[in-house]
Amino acid sequence: MSVKLTWYGHACWSIEVPKATILIDPYLAGNPTAPVTPDQVKPDYILVSHGHGDHLGDTVAIATRTGALVIANYEIASYCQGQGCKAHPLHIGGSREFPFGRVKLTIAHHGSSFPDGRYAGNPCGFLLTLGKIKIYDAADTGLFYDMKLIGEEGIDVALLPIGDNFTMGPADAVRAAKLIKPKVVIPMHYNTFEMISQDAKSFAARVKKELPRVKVVPLKPGESFSV
């Protein structure tokens, strides 16, 4: 199975497999770096890591327009169902087979509330098994040692935040890569705003020096990487 990942800036990804398009954390309308608008995407599934506005983003509008199934923790799935969307609840450590592949929710050390301040459950990351390809989206998190356990799954591509301030910065993302040992790291959650500006090239150079077997592929918003 071929898997194409397209970065829509910040933590938003469009993942295309032969029979489905999966959109993750669709923060588009408010995202100054997004190369597409919420009207231009046609996902079959939307994965939401946590309730913060820069992740929940345009989920309800896109799911309402397209009929996409929202996959998220119980609290966010319930919230989306309350807004009239189709949603499937999972929770940390739980996984389920969907027509496109398996989704497992992983821990993330972060906060999570809806933009109106209501509780949105625990934040999470995602482990996606798409055919033989394993993708780990760490989402918003600080470094944690259990990334080693996620790495034991055999990760092909790790999507890691490097922005610092709200999530891991570049130095901890290098340590995360050491724990996960993925084949490829794609940095995210940086350069959307001044507060999370980072140099992806220097991050890539540092990984190359310390982890010569891990390839870093910095993308520009709108660019894709295929596995």
Name the strand (E) or helix (H) holding 45.
strand 45-47
Using the structure block, give the residue that is written with the tokens 């870093």.
Answer: 216
Distances (CA, A) of 111 to 24, 140, 190: 18, 9, 18
Contact with Ni ion (CB under 5 A) among 52, 104, 134, 189? 52
Q: In the window 121-160, what residues touch Ni ion (CB under 5 A)? A: 140
In terms of DSSP bridges, do strands 20-24 and 45-47 run parallel, antiparallel, or are they unpaired?
parallel
Name the strand (E) or helix (H) holding 202.
helix 200-210
Read off the DSSP letter of residue 179: H
Handedness of CA 138, 53, 192, 11 (dihedral sign): positive
Name the strand (E) or helix (H) holding 161.
strand 157-161
Binding mask 8-37 for Mn ion (x = CB under 5 A): ------------------------------
| Angle value at C-alpha 122, between 118 and 128, nearest 5 degrees | 130
Q: How far is the CB of 131 from Mn ion (least distance, A)?
A: 29
Q: Which stretch binds Mn ion (CB under 5 A): 73-81, 121-129, 139-147, 208-216?
A: 139-147
How far is it, in rounded angstroms, from Cα 124 to Cα 47? 10
Q: What is the distance, to the nearest Å, from the Cα of residue 155 to the centroid of all Cα atoms in its chain? A: 14
Q: How far is the CB of 110 from Ni ion (least distance, A)?
A: 5
Main-chain dihedrals φ then ψ at residue 134, nearest 5 degrees: -115, 125
Residue among 104 and 110 whose Cβ is closer to Ni ion: 110
Binding mask 35-74 for Mn ion (x = CB under 5 A): -------------------x--------------------
Contact with Mn ion (CB under 5 A) among 16, 44, 75, 140? 140
Q: How far is the CB of 97 from Mn ion (least distance, A)?
A: 28
Residue among 124 and 214 whose Cβ is closer to Ni ion: 124
Q: How many residues bind Mn ion (CB under 5 A)?
A: 2
Q: How far is the CB of 11 from Mn ion (least distance, A)?
A: 6
Q: What is the distance, to the nearest Å, from the Cα of residue 15 to the centroid of all Cα atoms in its chain? A: 10
Q: Which stretch binds Ni ion (CB under 5 A): 50-58, 68-76, 114-122, 218-226?
A: 50-58
- 164 belongs to the binding site for Ni ion (CB under 5 A): no
Residues near Ni ion (CB under 5 A) are 52, 140
Residues near Mn ion (CB under 5 A) are 54, 140
